[in-house]
Amino acid sequence: MKKNFLFPFVALFTLLFASCSQEEIVSNEESKAPITLSVNAPVDNAVSRAATLDGYTLTCIMQLLNATGDQVGTQMTAEFSGNNATFTFDPTTATQALFWAEYRKAGSSVYNTSDLKNVRYSTNAFDLSKATDMSATDAFCGKLTSLSTTTVTLKRPFAKLNVKAKNPELVAGYTGIAVAFNAPSGYSVLNQTTASTAAVTFTNASGFNPANTWFSVLVFAPVSEAALGQNITITLSGSGKTDKVITLPGAAITTDDNKITNVSFDIENTNNITVTVGIDDEFETVAMAVGDYIYKDGNFGKTYNEDVIAIVYALAGKTDASDYGVGKTIAGYAMAVTCPARALGAATGITFPTITKTGTGTTPWADDYNGLTYTNALITGLGDFSSPLFDGYKTWVTTNTFTGTNLSDWYIPSGRQLLDIAGMIFGWTDTDPSVAPSVAKDEAFRAAYDTAVAGGGTKFNSYTAAATIISSYLKQDSTPAGVMVDKDNTEITGFAGGSYKLANASFIRPVLTVFK
């Protein structure tokens, strides 16, 4: 991730350049028509946001450079009108252009932009309780290294930091917060690097609630740095309370430009920090991919850590009529990195409940991702019947909780979901039309699975012999469709009906659905 201040509004600006023949400008070499450059910004984010900031306008700055990187002429500024800000200039000696768009009020700004190769802070104190104060720290930049190029995209040079405590109950009653650190400064739009730091403070004198996010700020995120680096000092205050000072190690706080860094820390041990890369559609849309990890808070990323709960194995577009609730749009599906222990179905000679076939298709391996529907029917059908296999699954679910509101409950995969997962890990080639269809091994998913196993996750088969992993798809004879995997976790050995009834042993590999 990368570094500097607040507010989620998508920051992608497309600059469209068009030549227009106007009156000629005479240079000491030749006559050239001026270039008219149009800076385009999405109406529904950056530009419309300026209208909600009382007294602020979104202003674009252009600085021309020659081939050696020296400034040519003076900077030009243009306010956005609707979607666009336009510049007209003589390109005779200019070969490059730098751009910076910021929110200005009465001509002043949070930043000193007299040199776009050295953007610094013009003000260093911010009130966290004032939305407009924090929103005005937002800015966007871009460059053209050749004026023969006709398009460029502006984006935030910042990472957004969201910081909160893992155990806020320890500081209940504190109502004020002051945050101070040396933030990267001296940002070069040309090189995307920073040359200095500046002391900045963020305060919320009386509206602080430790149970919520403690603060959200934007910090410059140079391409040359992977972490904030500078320690953050947090001072809490409250009526009748002794000030409490907390220091977060900046080296542990990773940053990426135009992305969100979620930081969760332990108040009693600030070295215990969890950092995840979060995605906000209004900040930057990053597509979830197969092989990405799902974290407890519902975010996703490519880094494995203690907060990982699942691995994405499929994206939206599957046949899935499960009832997830109103307003849920599926983004993908993820397999748990751990699973309940292998368990026997039950002893023989027991009277079992009669469970109606759950699968709606003619085969467990059809394109059918209705695992949640089938799981609910299966668990309902079992009722109070005690089965070690499903009792273990229910216990696992209660001990593997998460906070992400964009995730479904855990459930047992349908036959096709299970086939896809196993096939993507081991690869499966169908040589007999009566058996399950082929599923190609997926290198990204397999690599994420291997990393998770190495980090303490559970192998697909953790038994000392071949084992069956069951699905929630019950066949006509009320046996769950299952995938058999060898003891060495190297291949799928076949497909069978596992059973919750008999004394054979099986595994359940929980999955969940991820929503947008």
> pLDDT tens-digit profile of 241-274?
999 999 999 998 988 888 888 899 999 999 888 8
Average pLDDT on 186-212 reads 94
Q: Is the pLDDT of residue 42 over 70?
A: no
Strands 158-165 and 259-266, how do they pair?
A: parallel
Amino acid occupying residue 351: T
pLDDT digits (tens, 9 = 90+) for 47-66: 656 656 777 888 889 999 99
For every residue of 33-45, which 3-state class applies, written as one string?
Answer: CCEEEEEECCHHH
Within 8 A by CB and 6+ apart from 379, the residues are 390, 394
Backbone angles phi, psi at 418, to 5 degrees: -65, -45
Cα 351 to the center of its chain, rounded Å? 48
Instruction: Return the bridge partners of 494, or none.
Output: 484
State how far the alpha carbon of 323 is from the alpha carbons of 15, 209, 351, 375, in Å: 44, 36, 31, 12
Q: Is the pLDDT of residue 31 over 70?
A: no
Q: What is the dihedral of CA 276, 277, 279, 283, to 10 degrees?
A: 120
Report pLDDT for 259. 83
Cα separation, 144 vs 194, in Å, equals: 19
pLDDT digits (tens, 9 = 90+) for 308-356: 999 999 998 898 989 998 778 898 999 999 999 887 655 555 556 666 6
Query: Which strand (E) or helix (H) includes residue 23?
Result: none
Average pLDDT on 277-293 reads 68
3-state secondary structure of 445: helix
Query: Minimum mean pLDDT among 4-8, 40-44, 257-261: which range?
Result: 4-8
Q: What is the pLDDT confidence band of residue 3, given thresholds at 50, 70 and 90?
A: very low
Average pLDDT on 142-150 reads 75
Report pLDDT for 462. 83
Q: Is the pLDDT of residue 90 over 60?
A: yes
Within 8 A by CB and 6+ apart from 389, the residues are 340, 343, 344, 345, 470, 500, 506, 508
Q: What is the pLDDT confidence band of residue 134, given thresholds at 50, 70 and 90?
A: confident
Cα separation, 57 vs 53, in Å, equals: 8
Q: Which two tokens stand for residue 390?
A: 């499903």
State how far the alpha carbon of 146 is from the alpha carbons of 15, 66, 97, 143, 156, in Å: 13, 10, 8, 9, 21
Q: Is the pLDDT of residue 417 over 90?
A: yes
CB 498 within 8 A of CB 468: yes
Percent of the chain with pLDDT over 90: 41
Instruction: Return the bridge partners of 234, or none.
Output: 179, 246
Report pLDDT for 506. 82
Report pLDDT for 401. 92
* Nearest CA-CA partner of 210 in 240, 183, 246: 246
State how far the alpha carbon of 64 is from the alpha carbons of 58, 429, 466, 503, in Å: 20, 59, 68, 77
Q: What is the pLDDT confidence band of residue 11, given thresholds at 50, 70 and 90?
A: very low
Report pLDDT for 75. 94
| CA-angle at 231, arms to 230 and 234, nearest 5° | 135
What region, left, alpha or beta, does residue 283 occupy, with left being phi > 0 and alpha being psi -120 to 50 degrees?
alpha
Cα 80 to the center of its chain, rounded Å? 30
Mean residue pLDDT across the chain: 82
Q: What is the pLDDT confidence band of residue 428, given thresholds at 50, 70 and 90?
A: confident
Report pLDDT for 298. 87
Report pLDDT for 121. 93
Report pLDDT for 55. 78
Report pLDDT for 17. 34
Q: Is the pLDDT of residue 2 over 50?
A: no
Report pLDDT for 504. 59
Within 8 A by CB and 6+ apart from 7, the residues are 134, 135, 137, 138, 160, 216, 218
Report pLDDT for 359. 64
Amino acid occupying residue 205: A
Report pLDDT for 423. 93
Average pLDDT on 299-305 reads 82
Report pLDDT for 45. 56
Cα separation, 293 vs 288, in Å, equals: 9
Cα 162 to the center of its chain, rounded Å? 13
Cα separation, 114 vs 122, in Å, equals: 11
Report pLDDT for 52. 62
Query: Minimum mean pLDDT among 21-35, 115-129, 241-255, 489-503: which range?
Result: 21-35
Cα separation, 202 vs 1, in Å, equals: 21
Within 8 A by CB and 6+ apart from 415, the residues are 359, 363, 364, 365, 366, 368, 471, 473, 481
Q: Is the pLDDT of residue 40 over 80?
A: no
Instruction: Specify the residue for token string 């799928």.
Output: 492
Q: Is the pLDDT of residue 166 over 80?
A: yes
Average pLDDT on 167-192 reads 95
Report pLDDT for 151. 58
Q: Is the pLDDT of residue 181 over 90?
A: yes
pLDDT digits (tens, 9 = 90+) for 354-398: 666 666 666 788 888 999 999 998 888 888 877 778 888 999 999
